[in-house]
Amino acid sequence: MTATLLIDRRMHDLGGGFVVGRVLPCRKRRMVGPFIFFDHLGPLDVAPGAPRELDVRPHPHIGLSTVTYLYSGAITHRDSLGSNQEIRPGEVNWMTAGSGITHSERLEYARAHGATMHGIQAWVALPREHEETAPEFHHHHGAGELPEFHEDGVAGRLIAGSIEGAAARVRTHSPLFYLHWDMADGARRALGTDYSERAVYVARGAVELDGHPLAEGRMLVLQPGRAAQVRARGPATVMLLGGEPVGERFISWNFVSSSRDRLEQAREDWRAQRMKLPVGDDREFIPLPGRTDGPTPQQGNTRCRSSSKSSSAAPARAASAPRSHAGSTNSLAATAGSTPRWWTWPISTCLSTTSRCTPACSSTRTTTPSAGAPAWPAPTPTPSSRPNTTTARRPRW
């Protein structure tokens, strides 16, 4: 078996039927390559006239790139650089926060016309030498920028990075890949060994990974140096991601850094309102959550376990997750100390607005490590040289 860890997303209803599933970080797996955060949004049916409480109000980031990718629906992005961009399915919004940026994500199209919101947002940690780079925003679409292939029942799109001889025209700061496969029933495809850290996530349907079932809402982290064969058990949507490690990181709210002092500085800058708000969207913002003991090392809030087998049973929470929003009055008032919504929770709250942790994360250390202590247990070393044992046939991009 090529898998080393099975991760279940943790479903969380934000109110009014707005459901997301947190996959990364996990208590036993903080990152896959440079990917430090992986959230599955929806599917959520938004009716015309839905309240603005579903929007993600202006909030800040440092030290990372956010990657927004939709299967359905639309989101309007605005940021402090002056960007104003609607993203549609199959397109990519890549925002590099670097030294600091603020942005908002609003469901303007869905409120006007109705839509099913469904997609993924990931965070990619920047290498140390680029953590303070100037912020940037880029929108990408079309096969000229995001290479595609259609072979043997698999429609593939390279969202970012490079793999199998193809490279997306998305500026990244470290070696990585990020793929979307839509697979017909029975379709097969291999994922090669181009990178030392790789994972497979099932966003829709179910697949087999080297003959072992993998259900919707689950991620398998793969062993280094071994190719993996994916087979669809019915129509399926699969996300494949990974890259080379960038080193340990700390997370505090929306901030990522290799330095705890830098996180405290970012928190204070936002608290003191020293960061410019998005152009054209500067009348409200998400306040800094209540003070904790300080920046927390990457911590888990998602159930995960070492696995030589993957279960075909979907997470129990997923089955009961509501998926409609016809006009909830649930308020998103900007009150001091309130936990922000959607993609903006502080990791230390374990996704709970009342700071209650599930058993899976209740044992996670939430205090700042003492001076000189490691942020978390050292990751398992990966081979410096990786034999290319893949039998994958290179696609015709």
**What pLDDT shows up at residue 303?**
46
Residue 326 to residues 47, 83, 106, 107, 322: CA-CA distances in angstroms? 5, 30, 16, 14, 12
What is the Cα–Cα distance from 173 to 293, expressed in whole angstroms?
31
pLDDT reading at 344 higher than 80: no
pLDDT reading at 60 higher than 90: yes
Q: Do residues 24 and 302 lie in contact, with contact meaning Cβ atoms separated by under 8 Å?
A: yes
Amino acid at 355: S
> Of 8-12, 156-160, 254-258, 307-311, which range is least confident?
307-311
**What pLDDT shows up at residue 289?**
87
Residue for token pair 């062993």: 223
Q: What angle do CA 264, 302, 6 make, to 5 degrees?
A: 130
Q: DSSP H helical segments within the chain, as ranges?
A: 108-113, 260-271, 316-319, 359-362
What is the Cα–Cα distance from 63 to 67, expressed in whole angstroms?
13
**What pLDDT shows up at residue 345?**
34
**What pLDDT shows up at residue 19?**
73
Q: Do residues 242 and 198 lie in contact, with contact meaning Cβ atoms separated by under 8 Å?
A: yes
pLDDT reading at 278 higher than 70: yes
Q: Do residues 201 and 238 lie in contact, with contact meaning Cβ atoms separated by under 8 Å?
A: yes
pLDDT reading at 393 higher than 80: no
Q: What are phi and psi of 53, to 5 degrees?
A: -60, -20
Q: Do residues 355 and 347 lie in contact, with contact meaning Cβ atoms separated by under 8 Å?
A: no
Q: 156-195: per-residue pLDDT in tens?
A: 999 999 998 999 999 999 999 999 999 999 999 999 999 9
**396: confidence class by pLDDT, cuts 50, 70, 90:** low
> Of 74-83, 104-113, 211-220, 315-324, which range is least confident?
315-324
What is the Cα–Cα distance from 107 to 313, expressed in whole angstroms?
32
Q: Is 196 helix (H, G, I), strand (E, B) or coil?
A: coil
The bridge status of strand 324-325 relative to strand 35-46 is parallel
Mean pLDDT across the chain: 80
User: What topology does CATH give the domain 3-309+318-328?
Assistant: Jelly Rolls (2.60.120)
**What pLDDT shows up at residue 389?**
38
Q: Do residues 390 and 190 lie in contact, with contact meaning Cβ atoms separated by under 8 Å?
A: yes
Helix H, strand E, coil C: the string for 210-253 is: CCEEEECCEEEEECCCCCEEEEECCCEEEEEEEECCCCCCEEEC
**27: confidence class by pLDDT, cuts 50, 70, 90:** confident
**328: confidence class by pLDDT, cuts 50, 70, 90:** very low
**What pLDDT shows up at residue 347?**
35
Spatial strand order in the sheet of 212-215: 188-191, 228-232, 206-209, 212-215
Greatest mean pLDDT among 211-215, 329-333, 392-396 lies in 211-215
Domain boundaries defined on the chain: 3-309+318-328
**What pLDDT shows up at residue 147?**
98
What is the Cα–Cα distance from 288 to 340, expressed in whole angstroms?
8
pLDDT reading at 363 higher than 60: no
**What pLDDT shows up at residue 166?**
96
Q: Do residues 14 and 328 lie in contact, with contact meaning Cβ atoms separated by under 8 Å?
A: no
Report the 10 Å Cβ neighbour count for 61.
26
Residue 375 burial (CB < 10 Å; 0-12/13-18/19+)? middle
What is the Cα–Cα distance from 364 to 23, expressed in whole angstroms?
16
